[in-house]
Chains A and B, each alone.
Chain A
Amino acid sequence: MTGRGHRLDLQAAPFLHTTLSTPRLMVEVILCTLPVLAAATWFFGVVALLVVAAATAGAVFAEWALATRAPRGNTLRDGSGVLTGLLVGLTLPPAIPLWMAALGGFVAIALGKQLFGGLGQNLFNPALVGRAFLQAAFPGALTTWGAPRGFLDVPASTFALPFLHGGLDGMSTATPLALHKFEHTTTGLWALFSGDVAGSLGETSALVLLLVGLWLGLRRAFDWRIPVAILVATALLGGALHLLDPVRNPGPLFLLTSGGLLFGAVFMATDPVSSPTTPRGALAFGAGIGALVVVIRDYGGLPEGVMYAILLMNAATPLLERVSQPRPFGRRRAA
């Protein structure tokens, strides 16, 4: 054969490869948080930028200081630390003291990621670990929602010194979910959709989050099954419960557009490390999150439950992956 100029190349699979690498994926998702950050700045003013910057600084510092392998700072290059910090910042209320935001970013990387061995080793979504820590440590500050205000107007609590709360602001209000749960008033859908409501920085604008989610999904930056399953499960279970008791349980559109559901579905649940990689596992993961969110919101003591729902399903991820392994072609179905 060689005599006729043909060569037989033998190679091992895989033969197709993508140019997508971890740093590129991270940069893409980081770019996609920018519209969300812009919307947060639009609604809450310049304080949004400060909070997100503080959380990111905390995360980057943890990534740098707790690096286990030399040279220090190498792991910053994959961008995941920056992304985690941005996501922590976007889940915080606008009036939070900056030192708390920085602490949240630090805890997210330190306890949520580095403790487990770094990127790819963590069981739980690091950003949500950071936020859950803040929620447990400072429940007051994490549930004080400043009303939208002037662009350059910064709440008094923002520049509180570490360990201090810096005085209460008085300009606080309630989120649409809390209003519904505790005062039985439903916020208009247009306000929820555009984002002109009280809430965490990045979670209020359903419109921006839907567009960003659509873009990331089309770019294959995450498994589309997870957010779709979350939204479908929330709408179905929420709708069914709404039919049973329309006064107590909000309707599916309200559930979908309020609180952190869309933000969680687009940015948190889709974390490739802490979500299942198998197709059926991803569907079950998303459906579990949606169901837990509806149960916590409708029957729990808290108005919002997206963070806990995602963290609980993170814990179930190894199990879901084990039971949802695809059947290799030609292999008989297990009896």
Chain B
Amino acid sequence: MNAPSSPAEAARLHAEFVKGLWRENPVFVQVLGMCPTLAVTNSAINALAMGAATTAVLACSSLLVSLLGRFIPAQVRISTYVIVIATFVTVVDFVLQAILPDVHKELGAFLALIVVNCLILGRQEAFASKNPPLAAVLDALGMGLGFLFALLCLGATREVLGNGSLFGIDLFGPAFEPWVVMVLPPGGFLMLGLILLLFSWRLQRRAAAAAEEKR
């Protein structure tokens, strides 16, 4: 991993990093990784842990796949990626169990299911295997942080409405009336739908404004 040699190269790397945060956000724009997005965003802390775990797995896998890219036979590349990803998932699983046992218990099977998160496999196939290590890691970090951001948006709103708290801190006092549906699975769909609605509404408005300008 050498430092970028020219300003143009640096700008390209910057773009690889930034694209996942917003413009190609894995959840809000690509709508990938719906299983953890809907399942573990019932509280902000769960969302944060899942986002961080996914980001770690994604960055490590991308680095390794990018380095090994030339040696992996095309016919078995998907299964190779899955083995690489599963290795890091196991590592993250054990680390989380050691340092945050409560959160580990909350996330349950969904932690192991990071293996099959199509966001991670998608980045390996579409980006890491064809790009140098630095670009691959930056791409993975951008996508991972975008994923984390999306999960946090969902987790925070669902926790505030459904439980009256944020990161476990009580916001409204004992008279709070919880929106029961928000911590249940339908609340996940509802919230995700509303956020996607906001996104597409913004895009539409921007497109309309651009069309207006052209005229």
Contacts and interface: CB of A to CB of B under 8 A. Distances in A.
Contacts of B164: 163
Contacts of B179: 137-138
Contacts of B167: none
B11 interface: no
Instruction: Give the interface size bracket for B toward A.
Output: 10 to 19
Contact of A165 (B175, B181, B182, B186): B175
A137 B182 contact: yes
B197 A165 contact: no
Contact of A166 (B175, B180, B181): B175
Instruction: Give the interface size bracket for A toward B.
Output: 10 to 19
A165 B181 CA distance: 16
Contacts of B175: 160, 164-167
A139 interface: yes
A141 interface: yes
Given A115-B197, A136-B186, A165 B177 contact: yes
B172 interface: yes
A97 interface: yes
Interface string A242-274: 000000000000000000000000000000000
B181 A137 contact: yes
Interface string A87-120: 0000000000100100000000000000100000
B176 interface: yes
Interface string B143-172: 000000000000000000000100000001
23 contacts: A97-B177, A115-B197, A133-B181, A136-B180, A136-B181, A136-B184, A136-B186, A137-B181, A138-B177, A138-B180, A139-B180, A140-B180, A141-B177, A163-B164, A163-B172, A163-B176, A163-B177, A164-B172, A164-B175, A164-B176, A164-B177, A165-B175, A165-B177
Interface of A: 97, 100, 115, 133, 136-141, 160, 163-167
Given A138-B180, A139-B180, A164-B173, 16 more contacts: A100-B177, A136-B184, A136-B186, A137-B180, A137-B181, A138-B177, A138-B179, A140-B177, A140-B180, A160-B177, A163-B172, A163-B176, A163-B177, A164-B175, A166-B175, A167-B175
